Structure 1
Amino acid sequence: MRLLAQLLSLLFRGTALMLGLVGAGMALVCLGGAFSDRLDAFTHAAPLWLAMAVGAVVLGGVCARGAERWVMVSLGGIGLLACTILMAPELWAAARFKPATVAQSDLKVVQFNVWHDNRSPEKSLAWILAQDADVVVIEEGAGESWPIVKALRANYPFASCGKGARCETWIFSRKKMIARGGATFEGPYLSAAWATLADAKGPFTVIGVHYTWPVPAGPQQAQGRKLARLASGFDRKSMILAGDFNSTPWSFTLKRQDETLGLRRWTRAMASWPAGRFSRIMAAPAPFLPIDHVYAGEQWRAVKVERGPAVGSDHRPIVVTFRRQ
């Protein structure tokens, strides 16, 4: 029995040391993302490094003694501090948001990557239609999710993609589209759609985008620059931007994008991926990465921001209700 207790103690202490070394090391590497896009790729996993740091503090504090305990707790503390630097501003912004009562005249926007391998497109479609949104922005509208697109075209009078065309990113609207298009100029491929909508308070433009993954470093940052050029052609004060950015808010890439766009990001620390069964062998009980985002210009104020359920896609949908000021 004593031998078993010693073996368990050794296991827990070894685990604490491993968690402390990896958590602190990777969290410090993430801070280098301020200068390197390659290092910035590690910042997206900040919740994992944070969990490791907490594990090192708890296990080290309980199972170790003397100098060994202080080493493990100190390593965990370093990881906690670095993760706090990365994540605290986003968490603080999320805590400060104060929802308001929704009015009939408000604009309801749904952002949803419906996933080309959607497990149950009929559930996704039923959920979208139940929202009765004014604007729906979807990504990966092909493959198994094509029936969703077909049904939305039948239920919404205006779509950003012409009849007969197969687009990956779509905007559907109940408001009349004065103009529409996509990212067509030279540069890195960017799945994007835009539409200028008629409104009693003046026309406004909605842009939908879908970024590539953050690894390898470089292509996602180039897509961000292309989006900035696209957005510069419209009135940003009345603009709404939504999409799957495949980028977390504690990454320096997204922080720089927030500054460049000059729009307010209303989705704060709202995890949207992964959802449900996101691969053939893996399922997620809850999302932990906020990678779907909704921005708006200064003429808009969000009165409600919420996350939808898992309905077949590997992403949770996002619903933002705006009031034009």
Structure 2
Amino acid sequence: MQLILHLARLFCRGTALALVLLALALGLAGLGGAFSDRLDVANHFAPIWLVLGLAGALLAALVSRHSERWALVVMGALAVLAHGGLMAPELIAAQTRKLDPGPATLKVMQFNVWASNDDPKEALDWVLAEDPDVLFVEEGGGSAWPLIGPLRRLYPFVVSCVGNTRPCDTWIFSKKKMIARGGVYDRERPLSVAWATLADPKGPFTVVATHYVWPIPAGAQQAQSRRLAEMLGGFDKKAMIVAGDFNSTPWSWSLRRQDKRFGLERRTLALPSWPSGSFTRLLKAPFPFMPIDHLYAGRQWKTVSVKRGPHLGSDHRPVVITLRRE
């Protein structure tokens, strides 16, 4: 019995050491994300590394002894500080944000409906019940097509990411008249963008939908961001709205650079949208923990409310934002 307890103690000490070393190493590597896109990949998972560092420190405090205990606790605390420091600005901004109490004049929805959506009817019913004025959709093909077909009939104005000649799976649906529209779909230098300039009593404004690749391998997503920022420069940004699945979290250096590059205010602060439900055949998410669906808006728009929708057959949750135009 004593041997079993001794072996269990050794296992727990080894586990604590592995957890704090992994969390601390990734925390230090993440700091290098300010200079390296490859190192920045680790920062997208900062909440996970923070939990691992905290768990390792707590386990070490329980099972380790003397100097070993203090060394592991200190390393775990440093890991928590490293990852927490990256996340803190976003979390503080979300807590201190002041919403506008005035009446909403525009309701927009961002939703990656997922090409493997297992309940497109429920998703369609929920979207129609929310009744957004402008709907941004990604992955609107495959199993999600039963959602896209009715939306094309119900919304008077529609554009996909290659304009009107060849549809693809990034869409904008609008109640407001599209006085200009277009899109880009580039497979060689991956980029999926749909855009439209909408009529409005206070003056026309441009809306843009996009879908970025994953941050791995590093470099391609950052290239998309630079290319889209250059494209946005050709429009008036005062009342512009940009939304999409950016596959990038707000505690990455990549998204921080994009926030500055776009010259717009990101209205989705610390709002996890992925993963949701059974996002692979083997894994099911109890709750989303990665904010990767974002919406940006120009200074003429005031944020009235921001909310995350329920699980609707997609591996992403929808995001609904109501705005008021000054």
Same fold (TM over 0.5): yes
Superposition map of 1:85-96 within 5 A: 85-96=85-96
Rounded to whole Å, the distance in 1 between the matches of 2:273 and 2:142 is 21
Question: 1:258, 1:265 within 8 Å by CA — same for their partners in 2?
Answer: yes
- What do residues 142-166 of structure 1 show as CA deviations (whole Å, max 9, x unaligned)? 1111121111111111101366742
Q: Does 1:230 align with 2:225?
A: no
TM-score (norm 2): 0.95
Question: 1:271, 1:291 within 8 Å by CA — same for their partners in 2?
Answer: yes
Superposition map of 1:53-132 within 5 A: 53-101=53-101, 103=103, 105-132=104-131
Q: Which residue of 1 aligns with 2:254?
A: 253
Tell me which amino acid in the other structure corresponds to 2:113. V
Pick closer, same or farther for the CA change 1:82–1:286 going to 2, 3 Å.
Answer: same
Q: Which residue of 2 aligns with 1:25?
A: 25
Question: 1:175, 1:197 within 8 Å by CA — same for their partners in 2?
Answer: yes
Unaligned 5+ runs, structure 2: none
Rounded to whole Å, the distance in 2 between the matches of 1:3 and 1:101 is 65
- What do residues 256-288 of structure 1 show as CA deviations (whole Å, max 9, x unaligned)? 000010100011111111100111121111011
Q: Which residue of 2 aligns with 1:244?
A: 245
Q: Which residue of 1 aligns with 2:13?
A: 13
TM-score (norm 1): 0.96
Tell me how many residue pairs correspond in the alignment.
Answer: 324
Give the drift of 1:11. Answer: 2.1
Unaligned 5+ runs, structure 1: none
Q: Which residue of 1 aligns with 2:271?
A: 270
Question: 1:272, 1:287 within 8 Å by CA — same for their partners in 2?
Answer: yes
Rounded to whole Å, the distance in 1 between the matches of 2:310 and 2:101 is 22
Give the drift of 1:101. Answer: 4.5
Question: 2:185, 2:192 within 8 Å by CA — same for their partners in 1?
Answer: no
Rounded to whole Å, the distance in 2 between the matches of 1:305 and 1:201 is 23
Q: Which residue of 2 aligns with 1:141?
A: 140
Q: Which residue of 1 aligns with 2:286?
A: 285
Question: 1:32, 1:40 within 8 Å by CA — same for their partners in 2?
Answer: yes
Rounded to whole Å, the distance in 1 between the matches of 2:238 and 2:185 is 23
Question: 2:114, 2:144 within 8 Å by CA — same for their partners in 1?
Answer: yes
- What do residues 86-125 of structure 1 show as CA deviations (whole Å, max 9, x unaligned)? 111011111112335562x521100000011111111111
Rounded to whole Å, the distance in 1 between the matches of 2:8 and 2:272 is 35
Match of 1:284, SS state, is: coil
Could you tell which deviates more after superposition, 53-62 or 307-316? 53-62
Tell me which amino acid in the other structure corresponds to 1:99. L
Could you tell which deviates more after superposition, 153-162 or 166-175? 153-162
Pick closer, same or farther for the CA change 1:55–1:204 going to 2, 3 Å.
Answer: same
- What do residues 33-92 of structure 1 show as CA deviations (whole Å, max 9, x unaligned)? 001111111111111110111112211112212101111101101101111221110111
Tell me which amino acid in the other structure corresponds to 1:97. R
Q: Which residue of 1 aligns with 2:212?
A: 211
Q: Which residue of 2 aligns with 1:303?
A: 304
Question: 1:56, 1:75 within 8 Å by CA — same for their partners in 2?
Answer: no
Question: 2:178, 2:198 within 8 Å by CA — same for their partners in 1?
Answer: yes
Q: Which residue of 1 aligns with 2:36?
A: 36
Match of 1:111, SS state, is: strand
Tell me which amino acid in the other structure corresponds to 1:58. L
Rounded to whole Å, the distance in 1 between the matches of 2:186 and 2:52 is 44
Q: Which residue of 1 aligns with 2:47?
A: 47
Question: 1:188, 1:226 within 8 Å by CA — same for their partners in 2?
Answer: no
Q: Which residue of 2 aligns with 1:160?
A: 159
Give the drift of 1:185. Answer: 8.5
Runs ≥4 in structure 1, deviation > 6 angstroms?
184-187
